Structure 1
Amino acid sequence: MRTLNDFPVTQKWPAQHPDRLQLYSLPTPNGVKVSIMLEETGLPYEPHLVSFDSNDQLSPEFLSLNPNNKIPAILDPNGPGGQPLALFESGAILLYLADKTGQLLPQDAAARYHTTQWLMFQMGGIGPMFGQLGFFHKFAGKDYEDKRPRDRYVAESRRLLKVLDDRLQDRSWIMGEDYTIADIAIFPWVNNLIGFYGAGELVHIDQFPHLLRTLDTFRNRPAVQRGLTIPARV
C-alpha cells in the first residue's frame, strides 16, 4: 500500500500531518477555490505554498504531481479504496471533494448536472476571459498601444457578467437557495476581477447589481474569508 512518502512532491513539501489531505496552492482565484471548499466542508488539510516567485511550479517535485505546472493540486492520503490520490485541476478537485464529503453538490442527478454545467461555465469562460482581461489591464499587456485585444476581453467579460447577473436576478446563489461548488468556482474570479485586477470600472460592474449582491454575501462567509488567504504568502 502506497503512502505519502512514495510521492516525490512530499520531498519538497514534507507533510507535518500525513493523515491529512495535502494542498499545494497559492491564493489566486483558482487556488482559493480549493481552500474555500476545504474550509466550508471542515475536511482536515495541510496547505503548502507553491511560490511562483521561486518557480516552485516548475520543480520536478511539483511536476510529478501536476505535469501542467499549475496550481492548485492535492494529495489525499485517504482516497478511493483507502489509497492515496493525487489530483490537479481546480474543477476536478471541487467535484472530488464534494463527492468525498457529500457536501455542496446536489444528490439529485439533474441538479448535480446543472451544478456541474455552471462549474464548467467558470472553467471554460470566466477564468480564461477574466484572466486575459487582467493581463491587458493590469500586467504587461497594459503597455500595448493597440487596445483592441483589451477591449475584446472587456466585451466578453461584460457578456459573462450579464449571464451571471441575469441568473442571479431571482436567486440567492447560482443554483437557487443552495450554495454549491458552482458559487465556490465563480465568485473568487469575480472578486479578483474587481479587486486585484482593478477592472470594476472598466467593465462597469455597477451595472450588475444582482451579481454584486451575491458577491457581497459570498465575501461575508467565514469560510470564504479564511480560504481567501490560504496558503499564506510569505
Structure 2
Amino acid sequence: MLDLHYWPTPNGKKVTILLQELGVAYNIVPVNIGRGDQFTDAYLKIGPNNRMPVLVDHEPADGGGPLSVFESGSIMMYLAEKFGKFWPQDVRGKYEVNQWVVWQMANQGPKTGERGHFSRVDPKHGDQAYAQRRFNDEVHRMYGVLNNRLYDRPWIAGDDYTIADMIAYPWTASWELQGIDMGEFQYFKRWWDTMAARPAVVKGMAVVAGPPEDPATVTPEERERRMKLLYNQRARPAPTA
C-alpha cells in the first residue's frame, strides 16, 4: 500500500494526478498545513523539510520495511520508476524528462508560490510593490518558457506524455488568478486544454483531504498560534541525544 501524506495544494496534486494515471491503490493521510500538522515530531521523521507531500511505500521493490520519500519531484520519479510508466529510462529520454521536473521544482513552483505570497501580504508589513512586480514578471516568464517549449511538440518532454507534464500542470490551473492572458500563449493553451480534459488529471486535481475547515471555528488564540508557527520560520534546533 502507498500512503500519501497530503493536502490539496499544487504540490500535492502533482502526485495525485500521477497516482490516478497509474491506476494504483493509495491511501490519503491528511496533513493540514494551515494548522501546522507538518511541524509535528512524527511528521519530521518522514518529511525533514516540514513540507508536504510525503510518500510512504509499504511494499518497496527491495522487500524491506516501509520506505518514505519527500519532495514532490522525487516522489513522482520514484513512482514512475516503480511502476515503469511515464518516465523513459533510456539516457536521452530520461534526462529530457528530468530537466523539466527539476525546472518545475526550482523555478515554476517557487516563483509562482512567491507571487501568491507577496500578493497577500498585509499592508502593515510595508510596501510590497517591488516583490509583487518581480514575481508577477517571473510567473509571466515561466508561461513563456512553457509556450516556447510547446510550439513544436505535443508534450513538454517531446512526443510522449510524462511526469514532466503532470508536475507542471497544477501550478497553472489558476492561471486567471495569476494575471495570465491565455491569448498570449497559444501553444501553452493547446497543451493546457489537453491536460485539463484528461480523466485522470480531473480526478487527481479533485482529491481532497477531508472536509474543509470552517474559519469561524478557529479561535483568535489558535489563529495567533498558527501565525507564529507558519510565518518567518527559522532553523529548528537539532535533536539532543
Q: In structure 1, what is the Cα distance between the partners aligned to 2:209 and 2:48? A: 24
Q: How many residues align?
A: 209
Residue number in structure 1 paired with 2:197:
220
Q: In structure 1, what is the Cα distance between the partners aligned to 2:71 and 2:198? A: 24
Residue number in structure 1 paired with 2:117:
135
Partner-residue secondary structure (3-state), 2:173? helix
Please list, as runs of the form range in 1=range in 2, the aligned pairs for 1:87-126 lying within 5 A after superposition: 87-126=69-108
Q: Which moved more, 1:31-40 or 1:48-57?
A: 48-57
Q: In structure 2, what is the Cα distance between the partners aligned to 1:154 and 1:141? A: 18
Q: CA deviation at 1:68?
A: 1.0
Note if 1:170 corresponds to 2:147. Answer: no
- State the 4+ residue runs in structure 1 displaced beyond 6 angstroms: none
Note if 1:209 corresponds to 2:191. Answer: no
Residue number in structure 2 paired with 1:232:
209
Q: Which runs of 5+ in 2 are unaligned?
A: 212-241
Residue number in structure 2 paired with 1:47:
28
TM-score, length-normalised on structure 1? 0.84
Q: In structure 2, what is the Cα distance between the partners aligned to 1:90 and 1:146? A: 29
Q: In structure 2, what is the Cα distance between the partners aligned to 1:142 and 1:25? A: 31
Q: Which runs of 5+ in 1 are unaligned?
A: 1-19
Q: State, as a whole percentage, how many aligned pairs show the same letter.
A: 38
Q: In structure 1, what is the Cα distance between the partners aligned to 2:105 and 2:123? A: 24
Residue number in structure 2 paired with 1:4:
none
Selected match of 1:73 from 54, 63, 70: 54
TM-score, length-normalised on structure 2? 0.82
